[in-house]
Amino acid sequence: MRIELNGKDITPLCENVKLSGSLEQVARKLEFNLIVSPTDKNIPIVNLNLGDQISLYGNNGKRLFFGFIWKRNKAYQSVKMKVMAYEGSIYLLKSFDAYNFKNISPHKIAQQVIGDAGLSAGYLEKVNSNLSYIVYDKSLYEIIIDAYKRATKDTGKEYKMLMSGADIEIREVGKELAEFNLINSKLSNSVFEESLEGTVNRIKIIDEKGNEISSVDDGTTSQYGVLQRVLQDSDTAQSNAKNLLEPVKRSADIELLNKESLKTGYAVKVKDSYTGIEGKFKIIDDSHEWKNDLHRVKLKLELMEG
């Protein structure tokens, strides 16, 4: 692991390094303690300022994080400065704008908004849909993600903003599979959970007078009981009903060592015979911590259907 500030290696002065992200968190976050002292001449002086560029590299030399110093905290009697940095996508969350889109696809919207913000666009998932609408006083991040949501509201697909170096990317959650499987021998701890909270297994479709005219279910009502929602009839009622069905939630918390490439938005195959975890899971939350020469990884996973 190596940390560079404005291109200069400051790794020997960094402790308790943590890199984290989640589906709800727009930009990945880097946190660490920087050893500082105004009196000890054996400790090099590091000029660390808000907005400075910061990079984190893995043991194989691959850059895991590139971002900007966002917060620093230093107590008078402490020799450690707490530092927090975000990826460049944080600027899309903190900046607002207005647009009038006319017959334009989501990836073109993303390309335009990212460019207008002075940032660089990388891979942008393409969706075959052209949109026309006005947006006012929304964050640039919301504008981009909302475009993908509008175009794919009938598919149930989910999209995540990621970074590759300094490039902003938009990728479908769980589409990219990690290059290795997580099996028993690689896990230091795992917890598997199944829950009916949030499950919807039947949709009742009614007419304007409230009479049931049809229904859609997922075939689990005899096993779990009826967990129903109601939908007004329309030309798209049947397809909309299918998208409202919510399966049993199956999730896992796992811990392992030295897997630097595992991060939110990607998918991984898991098999743990003891807890019964098996299948393709999307990573919804990740935390990487480097401490005392150990790299610990904690992941929150959610089973992908199909």
Would you say residue 177 lies in a domain? no
- Quick one: tokens of 23? 């589906």
Would you say residue 131 lies in a domain? yes
Do residues 51 and 158 both lie within one domain?
no
Selection from 293, 304, 277 nearest residue 11 by Cα: 293
Neighbouring-strand partners of residue 177: 267
pLDDT in tens, 178-232: 766 677 657 788 888 889 999 999 999 998 888 999 999 999 999 999 999 999 8
Do residues 191 and 156 both lie within one domain?
no
Would you say residue 254 lies in a domain? yes
Would you say residue 120 lies in a domain? yes
pLDDT of residue 11: 95
Selection from 111, 110, 117 nearest residue 96 by Cα: 117
**Where does a domain end: 35, 55, 87?**
87
CA angle 159, 162, 164 (to 5 degrees): 140
Percent of the chain with pLDDT over 90: 63
More confident residue, 293 or 11: 11
Answer yes or no: is pLDDT of 114 > 60.
Answer: yes
Do residues 109 and 133 both lie within one domain?
yes
Do residues 44 and 99 both lie within one domain?
no
Angstrom distance (rounded) from CA 145 to CA 159: 7
Q: What is the C-alpha radius of gyration for the chain, rounded to an integer number of angstroms?
A: 23
β-strand 228-232 against 202-206: which pairing, if any? Answer: parallel
More confident residue, 279 or 16: 16
Within its chain, how far is the Cα of 219 from the centroid?
Answer: 31
Write down the mean pLDDT value for the chain: 90
Confidence of residue 156 (pLDDT cuts 50, 70, 90): confident
Q: Is 285 left (phi over 0), alpha (psi -120 to 50) or beta?
A: beta
pLDDT of residue 137: 93
- List the domain range (segments joined by +) for residue 280: 182-195+249-303
Do residues 96 and 83 both lie within one domain?
no
Would you say residue 278 lies in a domain? yes
Angstrom distance (rounded) from CA 143 to CA 141: 5
Do residues 58 and 144 both lie within one domain?
no
pLDDT of residue 276: 73
Would you say residue 290 lies in a domain? yes
Q: What is the CATH number of the domain that holds 102?
A: 3.55.50.10
**Where does a domain end: 64, 87, 110?**
87
pLDDT in tens, 77-108: 788 999 999 999 999 999 999 999 999 999 99
Residue with tokens 């170096």: 165
Would you say residue 14 lies in a domain? yes
* Per-residue CA distances from 63 to 21, 155, 219, 260, 280 (Å): 16, 34, 46, 10, 26
pLDDT in tens, 236-253: 888 888 888 888 888 989
The structure's pTM equals: 0.87
Do residues 190 and 279 both lie within one domain?
yes
Do residues 105 and 165 both lie within one domain?
yes
Q: How many domains does the chain have?
A: 4
Confidence of residue 283 (pLDDT cuts 50, 70, 90): very high
Do residues 187 and 298 both lie within one domain?
yes
Do residues 97 and 156 both lie within one domain?
yes
Q: Please report how many Cα atoms fall inside a 13 Å half-sphere around the Cα of residue 165, on the Cβ side.
A: 6
Residue with tokens 């807890």: 275
Do residues 106 and 146 both lie within one domain?
yes
pLDDT of residue 74: 87
pLDDT of residue 179: 62
Q: What is the CATH number of the domain that holds 265?
A: 2.40.30.150
Selection from 95, 98, 13 nearest residue 47 by Cα: 13
Would you say residue 74 lies in a domain? yes
